[in-house]
Structure formats: structure tokens, C-alpha cells
Amino acid sequence: MRKKEKVKLVLDTLETVYGSPKVMLNYTTTFELLIAVILSAQCTDVRVNIVTEKMFKVVNTPEGFANMALEDIEKHIGSVTFFKNKAKNIKKCSQQILEKHNGQVPMNMDNLIELAGVGRKTANVVMGDILKKPEGIVVDTHVKRLSNRIGFVKNANPIIIERELMEIVEEKNWFRYPNLLINHGRARCMARKPDCINCEIKEYCNYGKKQNKK
């Protein structure tokens, strides 16, 4: 079976299990999503949602964060990983949005990655959820692990993985692919002790086939 065909079968199967893909972060505006994604780096979505639920009631605009003392931002996000660095990025990012983009989050890759704390992955998450048109495929730890296990790629470098995935995943599925794999990575295909026996896509997965033969 060609990889492109396998991708389609895997995605269609996973969508029957998890429904239409969506970002697990809670937000009401594009700016809130951007801040939540910045906070989510090396931190769980559950933790980020706990933090933003309280914080966004106090401050949730570029103006608000730009004018807030750094120490106060740190207090709001103190329970997330690397909160001091993220606080600096949030403040600077907010200032950049005000100064360069009239207070609006830009919706293209070049402008997004110029913002403090925003890399290609963050930009693709934001554009993917807002526009449903990312300019690439988000490769987090789940996507990296599952893409290798299933057999779509054989590499540990996220940049190379993204490039290879973009060759076999249709552009219309660049948002769908990572979000469905992330859901499956959390529910079934964990880093340790993956539930291969009950896995819904085991017939398409190289790793699962080997485990089920044991």
C-alpha cells in the first residue's frame, strides 16, 4: 500500500473515533489562541487551560499584556513550564502586534514567526485552527512518535519529518493530520505501553503489526 493511501485510511479511521479535529486549547479570540499556544510549549494543554481560564478574565488583549508589568504576567502563568521566558515573550509579542500589526494577530507565516515566542509550529497551530489553512504540518512529540511507528517516516528530526509528511499528506489535511494523531497519541499510542491490542489503526501500523505478532 502506498503511503498516501495509508494516510487517508488512517485519518478516516481516526476521525470516526475522535471526531473532527480541533485544538484542545480553550480560547475565544485569535489573540487568546496565540497566547495559549505560546504557553503550551513543553506544557500540557490541561495545565494551560487552567491558567488561561483565570488569566483571560483579567487580561486578554495585546494592549493589556503590553501594559502589564512583567512580574504580574509571571504571577498569572507561574504554574506553566519556563514561565519567566514565556512571560517575556508574551509581553514583547503583544507590543509587536500593537506596533507592527495595528493590534491584530497577523495571519501569515512570515509575520507570525517574527513575533516573540512564535516559531513555525506555533504559527501553524494558529493558522490551522483559525483559517484551517496551515502552511505546513505541526510536528510535536505525538506526531513524531506516531508518524515513525505507523511507518510514514523514519526520522527523529521534526524539520525533516514535516518535509516528508508534506509530500504524502494532502494539503487539505495538513491541519487534520497532526490533530488526529495527537488525540490518538494521548488515548492509545502512548510513548510507554501503547495499547496496540485495542488500537483502531493497528492494521495500518508497522509497529502495531510487530507487537501483535509477539
Q: Which residues are catalytic?
A: 121, 140
Question: Identity (one letter) of the amino acid at 115?
Answer: L
Dihedral angle over CA of 133, 127, 139, 208, nearest 10: -50
Q: Exposed/middle/buried for 174, CB within 10 Å: 0-12, 13-18, 19+?
A: buried
Q: Give the closest residue to 169 by CA, choosing from 20, 10, 62, 47.
A: 10
Q: Where are the alpha helices (DSSP H) in 118-213?
A: 120-131, 141-150, 158-168, 176-187, 206-213
CA atoms within 13 Å, Cβ hemisphere of 36: 28
* Distance, C-alpha 193 to centroid of its chain: 23
